[in-house]
Chains A and B, each alone.
Chain A
């Protein structure tokens, strides 16, 4: 999935990606912002609402309390007046009552009635009631006086009234006549000169009216519904008529199983304000929040009830507004960035189209009008400059190329000639190790080296340097290399070889080219080495613990003087000796200070040379490079290292060639004759040695060039052994399948006799694969 998105994205245009990333960023920012705002704002708004609601209810309670205070003040004033008159002064009594009610008229209270009850101290239930009732018409009060026989029937709650000079508020009740909810506030008093309470002064006020009046000055948040709860927890007002004046908050709490309601009731009774969340309220028909506050002096309480949903409505509205504005902003931004992106990219696209044409080699188009955007303008300027640079360069190149091409192809040909002329197959032999190295200079010179067998045990090494450079030098080199190789095979002495080569190189040498050359022929069996020189730098030789430049007769170079003569010289190489042949490209390698590498340095590095020819050459090369450093190479560097190892006694080396079979067998017969083997033993050994040699020549070598087999003979403990060692393919002739000799002639296969003969005629035969060489040893008993 991740990969899919990746690959999908990689295929979109920059424009798309830029727009996508900007929009994503902005969207995420907004989303984050919205999250924070909605998370943080909700409690703030809720707090705000709570505070407003709480304040409303408290204010309302306070206003109501003021009305209560007004009513109480009227009662107290009236009582104070009554305590100053005598019991029987009924005239005054009516007047006092009337003036009290007049005060009510001027307050915000609405009274239903006001009365004074006078009773004998011994029997409260029998007395005289002075009743003043509101007629409904302005300022007209209806006075009535009646004898009461059972006061408690009329005012059952009176039983609870303490016999103290304090104001007592009855529980609210419904007025029989008006049907309004009323509450009576009364106070016991003593007439002048009396010791016991013999009177009551009371005022019945309209609660609903009080509630309405207290609402006038205050307002509360939203559609709150107001509940008035009396001291005992009775609902004074409630939308449900079955609850209003019928049921207390505690009863409802129990019935509805809403303990939260009970707590509200208790807190109100204790005079505390607060708020509560109620899971269900019949007032709002759902979850509700109650804000409540006590009405201090009468221990009543108010509840402001909100539907929870309604209270949170503004928060939801706020969230909606926020979300919509987010969407709108993103939409606007999208349009905006899309336009900007499209504009920038269209400029880029123009650049792309032009650059694409340039890439295809069409430089005809240039910018008609430079892009306005500063960075794109820079790019366009760069491309435009590039165009003119390329055009200039291409024209210059075109001119140069045609000239250069000529020269280069010539160089290639010369290099090819030189490379193909050089031997690159190193003969494998235990008698010596050879390595060559040629690092051509930039311009092809005519250096060459060569190595080849002159006969079985004579190995020739040649190094030469043709004057001049290029194709002519290469062709002259070819001629020289071919002459030297061919003429040396005639088995003439080396001075004669060079004499012949010289004469033929002189022929038709109009260009006056010449060759310096050194050649040595090493007898691998004896180490006797013959050499001849034609004006070449003398090779380095390490022999017998001595290192020196070989003493050579310089002689004249080849190809110049037809009657020149050469001198063959000789040195005996001991096993471990080695020869380093090189051209002047080595000693005359130049560093930046135009100093030559020189003989001294070459001699010094030659000190650390070992028996591995290839290592020796890389050692020298490393030293040259260290000296020359970065200076360009001016001449070919050509080297040949020959390490002579020699043979153990009784060893011969034969080319692994079946044509040489008879030579080998004749040598073997001769050797066995000298060792005094019986005629039968000689016959058997010839038979099996032929088999071994033919096998090696035919099977072990796939490349016949320069392949050799080393043959070592020895006589030991009445046995004569011939050991064949070769570097060919791994091949064990003793493992060959034997033909079934019991079969009838007709069924016989034609081949496979060799292994049979080996097994039947040899007295011992062993094969080993040792150091990547096949080692086969055959033995016969000397006397047979």
Chain B
């Protein structure tokens, strides 16, 4: 009894990166804010690429508090969705090529989101990482932290609750 041969590394990487790219590229608002994601295995780090249009206080200058909130929320939803879909991507139930063509599974929906502003956001790139504290059949609770120059000096943190997509993949469950 020998274990199955592991897949070649390039195949694994290509599948995971293609799935992530399909998820990120499908959302216009993520492109609008120019947020990109870095992947290490199943761990994601969001990167808010600085641009003048993200400024909220031109006198300081500082990143808009709403942009910070949005960046944290995008990172939280993407991380939650990614971990939720990971087993299906790995099992081959979700085809990255079909995802890229627009056949995407339903996303989690934000129920509430609370942002803690710790320092003003400087006019440069920012990074965020989310932790899924609990992901149940219906609800998930996610924490997310954002920093700029120093990982241990957060400029914002947030916590949010999300409604997970209900039923089968085809089920267009609506909460409203």
Q: Do A and B come from one complex?
A: no
| B interface with A by C-beta (< 8 Å) | none
| A interface with B by C-beta (< 8 Å) | none
